[in-house]
Amino acid sequence: MSGRARIFVLLPIEAERILLIFAAASACAVMYQLIYRDIPDHFVNRCTWSCAGFAFVYTLLKYVFRAFADERLSAVAVSMPAILSALLLRNSDIEGFSAGMMGLLVYLFWLFFNIRADSRYPQIMICIMADAVMTYKYFNSLSSDPYDFTGRMVYASLFILTAYHLRLLAGSKGMRKYPFVYFLVLLFFLMLFPARKEPIDWEPVLDAGRKAANKTKEMVWSVSYYIEDLFGTSYYTGYNSLAQNGDTVRSSDRTEIALATRDNTTFKYTDEQTGRMYKRRRTVYLRGGEIPGHDELLDTVFSMYAHGVDPATASLFARNAELNVTYEYLKTEDVIVPAGLLSLRDKNGSMIRENDGRRHKKGYSYHAAYMDLDFGSPYLEGIAADEARSLTKDEVSYKKLASYAYETFGIRLNEIVNEDEFSSWQEGNDLTEYTGTEGASDRMRDLARKITKDCLSDYEKCKAIEAYLRQYEYSTATGRSNEGDTGSAEGMSAVADDFLFETGRGYCVHYASAMVMLLRLNGIPARFMSGYRYVFPFEQQKVYEVKAASAHAWPEAYVKGFGWIGFEPTSGMSTAVDRTWHRKPAAVKAAYEAPLYSEKANVSVPVHVDAERDTDTGKEHPADIAGIVKMAAMIILSVVLMAVLLIFGTFLFKAVRYRMADPNHRLLSDVSDITVIIRSTVGQPFEDRGIMSDYDEYIPDKYRDEIKRAFDISNRIRFRCIRCIENAEKVTAEEEVFVRELRNKMINEYSFTFGLLFS
């Protein structure tokens, strides 16, 4: 095998050893760190690299020393520089001593097993132990796991070593080892890929999947939406199902309407307990059915007027808002409008005053302006609860109320309500259709009385019933027993009775029906409203998709002195109090100008840093660099010293042995040197049995006769004198001088003094 081929064979073998030492040293250091928790990471890293560095140097030395001695002796020779350097650095402030000693121990351990046998089990055991330690370290200190080059190198080395030894274990006995160089290539590629601190983020993949699924779903919806008329079937939506009988429902994520608004869809409020400012999403209730008349608006404005609400107070709980509503997968004659509707305009800007009786389909859109009232505000609650009004409807004029509405709320009432409508409103509302209690059972009547027995006003009763119903369990799987239709008092009674006394659980339809009936049994006009309850997202969007799952039903009560107020008895939904804007007179301005709490969180917080651990930052301290240089210098020095010692030791040993030997052995030694010189001149190996014929063709012509004579003498001494054959002719002084001079002559001619040292 050529020298280059030998290098390619030996390199992976040595690389495997050094990597195993590297991994084992890392595991030892980590174990040490796990036992003594105050050991810093940089100690582990330096120990690991020092061990690997020592192993590398020892490997080089091994090949240097093997020129003089066999493997065992070279192993002993290798340990000398290591011990020397370790002793020199024992008082160093860096970890050279520890690392050097550890590296030496690991290396000697390795050499022991490497020399002892070709058994693979010690290496496998080392690998398994290192795996166990590093795995334990990983699961016990995830946060402090080093992501630097050392950490990656340790884990990657362990991976390939484990794979390599698994391959050994899996292979049959006597099977050749798979080339380690393959695993080195794998290690190279492994080091190219950076590890992540976070687990794999599948979100982009899931998003792509969701998008694909949504596209498919939309296609299916579109097809079913457009062809349903061909088969005469009724298109099913979440909104339409609310008018059903309260049976078990299945949720759907079809987009039924799309909203667009320029308003801010979130608001900020300060938590009274913590004093922190939070961001909260707005909620809008969209009611379906006929376009509501203006009586409700006039009731609300008049109530404010009667209670003397000024613009400043009104701003605490009222704001004007607008919405663009577009129908998606929805087919209905109903118009979906936000609660508190002021006006409704079509695409051309024309006012829509009443339903046109046509069935609206996908693409139907309009613009709605509405007054958003915070019924969770204590100010508005106070107004609602105060039934005693100093004014009657007759005492206010159209102009006065219009003027008040504009000044207080910015509403141009005269553009929305005409004088005839105003006069009609003054004549009074007919609420009889909202008071029917047909079908209500006795136990329901008893319950209605029981809930509101301590309440003084209608509003309090409403709140009491709302709070009572919110104790019921929310469930879309009702398993109801009674048939019922929420379109009539009997139907609602059936649903409510079943919900209140039989199943004890339900969804919005059950809660709304129950509250409507309990309100009516308390003499408060109430109605069942259906539509959508939509909570805007935190992120501002161009279009907000209202899904079928947002379809909702809720009750509205006619509170004396105020008008219609919506409530939220469904336990799964937040009440008006939960959604309140939390505005207060003094805090209004400050709240809106104060920075967000989340912004506060972004402010950098000073982190406590232990002064003693300053070196953990990864920057090399100048003293450390000097120490490393010193250590390296010491090692090099020791290596040179050891090499010099070996060279002169060998020279000395040979010289002493030559002098102490008898003339026969001296002559044999001289002839041996002559053969070495001849071999060196040939430059290629040849069969050498120590006889003249083997050298015949390589002997230089000018020395041929002399060398022949030297060989003859040598053979005579070797085969006769040394074997003590009788009458053997011993070497003469002349022969001894002749051979020595020949040797010296050849050494001088070929400048081969140094080469004889390694012979």
> Binding residues for other proteins, per CB under 8 A?
1-2, 4-5, 8-9, 12, 134-135, 138, 142, 145-147, 151-152, 155-156, 159-160, 163, 167, 170, 176, 178-179, 181-183, 185-186, 189-190, 193, 195-200, 202
CA dist., res. 303 & res. 446, Å (int): 32
Q: Six-digit token pair at 124?
A: 């496998």
Please identify, using beta-carbon distances, which residue of 145 and 706 lies nearer to other proteins: 145
Q: Is 206 left (phi over 0), alpha (psi -120 to 50) or beta?
A: alpha
Q: In one letter, which amino acid is 584?
A: K
CA dist., res. 234 & res. 237, Å (int): 9
Please identify, using beta-carbon distances, which residue of 135 and 680 lies nearer to other proteins: 135
SS (H, E, C) 572-634: CCCCCCCCCCCCCCCHHHHHHHCCCHHHHHCCCCCCCCCHHHHHHHCCCCHHHHHHHHHHHHH
Please identify, using beta-carbon distances, which residue of 197 and 358 lies nearer to other proteins: 197
Q: How far is the CB of 139 from other proteins (least distance, A)?
A: 8
Q: How far is the CB of 124 from other proteins (least distance, A)?
A: 16
10 Å CB burial of residue 467 (0-12, 13-18, 19+) is middle
Q: What are φ and ψ of residue 329, in 5° steps? A: -85, 70
Q: How far is the CB of 116 from other proteins (least distance, A)?
A: 25
DSSP label of 329 = S
Q: What is the widest separation between alpha-carbon atoms in the chain? A: 161
Q: How far is the CB of 26 from other proteins (least distance, A)?
A: 12
Neighbour tally for 351: CB within 10 Å: 10
Q: How far is the CB of 5 from other proteins (least distance, A)?
A: 4
Q: How far is the CB of 206 from other proteins (least distance, A)?
A: 12
10 Å CB burial of residue 40 (0-12, 13-18, 19+) is middle
Q: How far is the CB of 40 from other proteins (least distance, A)?
A: 18
Please identify, using beta-carbon distances, which residue of 146 and 410 lies nearer to other proteins: 146
Reduce the DSSP state of residue 256 to 3 states and report it.
Answer: strand
Q: Are β-strands 505-506 and 473-474 bridged in parallel, bridged antiparallel, or unpaired?
A: parallel
Reduce the DSSP state of residue 551 to 3 states and report it.
Answer: strand
Please identify, using beta-carbon distances, which residue of 189 and 231 lies nearer to other proteins: 189
Q: How far is the CB of 27 from other proteins (least distance, A)?
A: 13
Nearest-10 crossing angle of helices 3-35, 149-170: 110
Long-range contact set of residues 32-37: C-beta below 8 Å, sequence gap at least 24 = 33/137, 34/133, 34/136, 34/137, 34/140
Q: How far is the CB of 151 from other proteins (least distance, A)?
A: 5
Please identify, using beta-carbon distances, which residue of 8 and 758 lies nearer to other proteins: 8
Please identify, using beta-carbon distances, which residue of 106 and 158 lies nearer to other proteins: 158
Please identify, using beta-carbon distances, which residue of 45 and 493 lies nearer to other proteins: 45
Please identify, using beta-carbon distances, which residue of 200 and 733 lies nearer to other proteins: 200
Please identify, using beta-carbon distances, which residue of 92 and 150 lies nearer to other proteins: 150
Q: How far is the CB of 608 from other proteins (least distance, A)?
A: 25
Please identify, using beta-carbon distances, which residue of 5 and 388 lies nearer to other proteins: 5
Q: Which residues does 669 contact at the CB level (< 8 Å), separation at least 6?
A: 658, 661
With vertex at residue 66, the alpha carbon angle to CA 664 and CA 127, rounded to the nearest 5 degrees, is 150
CA dist., res. 84 & res. 76, Å (int): 13
CA dist., res. 33 & res. 25, Å (int): 12
Radius of gyration of the chain (CA): 49
Q: How far is the CB of 714 from other proteins (least distance, A)?
A: 38
